[in-house]
């Protein structure tokens, strides 16, 4: 049986304060959080996180 490739985590920007579903720590607006697409889908619909901006992506590439 072939194994399925698990989706990789992606970086998202916090749009309003929220508790991270993975670490249970509170995150401030503007912070970055790494989530699976399935975790982020609900938070995007609620307006808690948004897709990373170009500025955020550029910084992640250099790190």
Instruction: Read off the pLDDT band of 62 (50, 70, 90).
Output: very low
User: What are residue 32's phi and psi, to 5 degrees?
Assistant: -110, 145
Every domain of the chain and the residues it spans: 10-55
pTM comes to 0.67
| Residues 4-32, mean pLDDT to the nearest whole number | 87
Q: Calculate the alpha carbon distances from 53 to 3, 20, 21 in Å.
A: 33, 19, 22
| Residues 11-29, mean pLDDT to the nearest whole number | 91
CA angle 32, 28, 25 (to 5 degrees): 85
């Amino acid at each position: 049986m072939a194994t399925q490739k698990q989706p990789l985590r992606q970086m998202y920007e916090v749009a309003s304060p929220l508790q991270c579903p993975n670490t249970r720590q509170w995150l401030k607006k503007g912070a970055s959080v790494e989530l699976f697409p399935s975790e982020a889908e609900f938070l995007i619909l609620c307006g808690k996180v948004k897709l990373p901006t170009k500025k955020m992506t550029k910084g992640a590439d250099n790190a």
